[in-house]
Chains A and B, each alone.
Chain A
C-alpha cells in the first residue's frame, strides 16, 4: 500500500499508530489531538466518560468515519483508504445490533465466515470453524436457534463470535460485555486472554467495567475532553495518580495502616523488624476505579492541563 502512514511510534510490530488525531463536527471539537500506538498482541482498554470520543476514535480506526486531521495507520494502512483486503484482517464488534432475527446462529456465523475464505493464507486459516467458535463463546446449545429468540447476553456473544469468525489480526470491541451474566463475562475474558496470548491478536476495547479493563488490558488509555489523559498499565496509572499504596496489618491484636510510595520496601522492613508478629497483611494499591475517577475529576475541575500534568509530573 503506498497510502501507508508513518505515524510517530513506528516499528515492525506496530498495529495501530495514531498521531494528533482530530475530529470536528461542525464547530464542536470531539477529538483534540489524540496520539497512541498499539503493538501486536497488546490488549488496550479505552476508557472515558460518555461523550469523550471513544466511539468516534474507534470508528475512525475501523474506517467507518473520516477524520478531520491527524495521521492514522491501522495494520500499516490509512483506514480512510482501507481496501477489502485490509478489512478482512479486522474484527469489529459494535455497540448495538438487532439484526438478522430470522437467521439461525450457526447459519449466520457460517455465512459471514465464507466471505473471509478468499483472504486465507497458509499461516492464517480463514474463516474459523463456526462450531468451534460457537462453543468458545458458550452458545453451543443455542446454535440452532433463531437469533430473534436469543437473550441480550446471548446475542452479544454471537456479536463477539461474528467479530472473530474471520480470524482477525486486530479486533475492535465496543462495550463487548454489556448484558453478560458473571459466568458469560468470565468466559468472555478467557476468550480475550486466549486470543491475545496464543494468537497474538491485537485488541482494542472500550468498556465501562473498570474491573474488566484492569483484568484484560495490558494497557489502559483514558480519553477525556478529546485527548488521551492517561496511558499505562493499571498499576502504573494508580502509582502516578496517588503515588501511595496502602499497607494494612495487625500486630498483637492491634490494627495498623500506613500509606507509602514503596510498599515492597516498607513490608520488607516491617518483617525485618517484627517478623512473625505481623498478621493479616494487606497491600492495597488504589483500584483502577479510584484512579479513573480521580483522573476524570481532575480533568473536569482543572481542564485537561491539570490531568495531563498529574501524569507527566509523576511519570
Chain B
C-alpha cells in the first residue's frame, strides 16, 4: 500500500465525514431548504402553465432543467467558495503540513460536493413526484440517462470549481468571478424556460458552456421523445451533449492538477495570515 493511495482512501473517508457533518449543519440544511423551497414554489404557482408550441406543462420541462442547473451551480460554486474560505482559515495549510494531506483534501472536496447535490435532488424530486405530472423520468432508460448525464456533468463542472477556488482572491473573488457568471449562464441557458425564447446570439453563447447541455441532458432523461420538438434542432442532441460536456471535463481534469499544485505550493503561514488581515479589514 503506497502512502499516496492510502491518502486517497483517507480523502474518500474525509469527504464522507464532511458530508455527514453537512447533513446535520443548520447552515447547510437552511440553504437546501431555501433553494428547494424557491424552486418548488415557482413550479407550484406555474403548475398549470403550458409550454408554447407543445402540450407540456411547465414543471415537466423545468424540473429537469433546474436539476441540471443545480449541478453546475453546486459543483462550480460549492468547491470554489469552500476552497477560497479554507485557504483563508488555514485548512489547506494544515493539509499541506501532513504527508499527502493535499491529496486527501482534494479527494475529500470531490466526494463532499458530489454527494452534496443529493439532498437538494431528493427534496426537489420527491415532492415533484406527487405534485406535478411527468416531472420525473418515465422509464428505466430515463433513469440511466439521468445517471450518465449527472456523471459527465460532475466531471465537466467540478474541476472548474476547484480551480476557481484556487486562483480567486478569497470568497469575494469567487462571488465576482464565479457566482455572477454562473447565474448569468443559468438565466440564458434555458433552465427556467425554453432557450429558443432567447435572442440568437445568447443561444450561441449558452451553447458554449456546460450549463445548457446539463439542462438539455436532464430533459432528455425526464421527458418523452416528442418533447424534443421544442429544443434547438428539434432533437435531444445526445451526442453533442456528451461531446460538449466531455470536452469541458477533459480540459478541466487536465488543468486542475496543475492549478491546484501551484496553489498548494504557494500556501504558507504568512500567506494565510496576510489574507486573514485583509479579511479583518473588510469587516472592520
A binding-site residues for B, Cβ under 8 Å = 55-56, 58-59, 62, 64-65, 84-85, 87-88, 90, 92, 94-100, 102-103, 107, 111-112, 114-119, 162, 166, 174
Kindly report which residue of chain A lies nearest to residue B5, judged by CB atoms: A118
Give A92 to B98 CA distance when docked, in angstroms.
9
Cβ–Cβ contact A112 & B89, under 8 A: no
Is A103 in contact with B21, judged by CB distance below 8 angstroms? yes
Q: Lowest 5 CB-CB distances: which A-B pairs, in order?
A: A99-B91, A118-B3, A88-B99, A64-B268, A92-B97
* CB-CB nearest in chain B for A174: B269
A116 to B273, CA, bound (A): 27
Which of A58, A94, A95 has its CB near the most chain B CB atoms (within 10 A)?
A94
A-B contacts, 9 listed (Cβ < 8 Å): A55-B269, A59-B270, A65-B268, A84-B4, A92-B97, A96-B273, A98-B90, A112-B94, A115-B100
CB contacts under 8 Å to A, within B1-55, are 1-4, 6-7, 10, 13-14, 17-18, 21-22, 25
Docked CA distance A142–B269 (Å): 27
Check if A87 sits within 8 Å of B90, measured CB to CB. Answer: no
Is the pair B98, A56 in contact by a Cβ cutoff of 8 Å?
A: no
Q: How far is the CB of A17 from chain B (nearest CB, A)?
A: 22
Check B98 against A112 for contact (C-beta < 8 Å): yes
Kindly provide the distance from the CB of A105 to the nearest chain B CB, expressed in whole angstroms: 14
Q: Once bound together, how far apart are the Cα atoms of A103 and B91, in whole Å? A: 12
A99 near B86: Cβ-Cβ < 8 Å: yes
Are A111 and B273 in contact (CB-based, < 8 A)? no
Chain B residues, Cβ within 8 Å of A65: 268, 270
B276 within 8 A of A: yes
Q: Which residues of B contact A90 (CB under 8 A)?
A: 97
- Given that A85-B99, A94-B90 are known contacts, is A115 also in contact with B7, CB under 8 Å in the complex? yes
Q: Is A99 in contact with B90, judged by CB distance below 8 angstroms?
A: yes
State in angstroms the CA–CA spacing of A254 and B175 once bound together. 76
Would you call A59 and B94 a contact (CB within 8 A)?
A: no
Q: Which residues of A contact B4 (CB under 8 A)?
A: 84
B237 within 8 A of A: no
Q: Is A97 a contact partner of B6 (Cβ separation < 8 A)?
A: no
Beyond A55-B270, A94-B97, A115-B10: 13 further Cβ-contacts under 8 Å?
A: A59-B269, A64-B267, A64-B268, A65-B268, A84-B4, A84-B100, A88-B99, A95-B269, A102-B18, A102-B22, A112-B98, A115-B104, A119-B99
Is residue B227 contacting chain A, with contact meaning CB distance below 8 A? no
Q: For residue A28, give the distance in angstroms from its CB to the closest CB of chain B.
A: 13
Q: Report whether B89 and A97 are in contact in the complex, using a CB–CB cutoff of 8 Å.
A: yes
Task: Determine the chain B residues whose CB is within 8 A of the CB of A119 once the complex forms.
Answer: 3, 99
**Complex: how many Å from CA A56 to CA B270?**
8
Docked-complex contact B99 and A111, CB < 8 angstroms? no
Chain A residue nearest to B96 (CB atoms) is: A64
Question: In the complex, which residues 202-226 of chain B have their Cβ closer than 8 Å to any Cβ of chain A?
Answer: none
Chain B contacts for A97, CB-based, 8 A: 89-90, 93-94
Complex CA–CA separation, A84 to B97 (angstroms):
10
Distance A88 CA – B4 CA, assembled complex (angstroms): 12
Q: How far is the CA of A249 from the CA of B4 in the complex (A)?
A: 66
A104 to B26, CA, bound (A): 16
State in angstroms the CA–CA spacing of A25 and B276 once bound together. 20
When distances are taken between beta carbons in the complex, the residues of chain B under 8 Å from A107 are 17
Inter-chain contact A111/B94, CB cutoff 8 Å: no
Does A116 contact B91, Cβ atoms closer than 8 Å? Answer: no
For B101, give its contact among A55, A64, A100, A115 (CB under 8 Å).
A115
B263 CB to nearest chain A CB (Å): 13
Residue of A nearest to B28 (CB): A102
Q: A203–B242 Cα gap in the complex (Å)?
A: 55
Instruction: Report whether B89 and A98 are in contact in the complex, using a CB–CB cutoff of 8 Å.
Output: yes
B18 contacts across to A, CB distance below 8 A: 102
State A97–B93 Cα separation when bound (angstroms). 9
Q: From A126, which residue of chain B is reached at the shortest CB distance?
A: B99
Nearest-neighbor residue (CB-CB) of A66 within chain B: B265
With both beta carbons as reference points, the residue of chain A lying nearest to B108 in the complex is identified as A111
Tell me, in angstroms, the Cα distance from A100 to B6 when the chains sit together. 21
The answer, yes or no, to whether B182 is at the interface (CB within 8 Å) is no
Residue of A nearest to B98 (CB): A115
Cβ B269 vs Cβ A94 within 8 A: yes
A174 to B89, CA, bound (A): 17
Taking CB atoms, residues of chain A closer than 8 Å to B152 are: none
Interface centre among B7, B10, B98, B270 (most CB of A within 10 A): B98
Contacts of A102 in B (CB 8 A): 18, 21-22, 25
The CB with the most chain B CB atoms within 10 A, among A65, A87, A90, A99, is that of A99
Any A CB within 8 A of the CB of B272: yes
Please, which residue of chain A has its CB at the minimum distance from the CB of B7? A115
Q: Which residues of A contact B272 (CB under 8 A)?
A: 94, 96
Q: Given the complex, which residues of A lie within 8 Å of B7, measured CB to CB?
A: 115
In the complex formed, the residue of A with least CB distance to B92 is A99
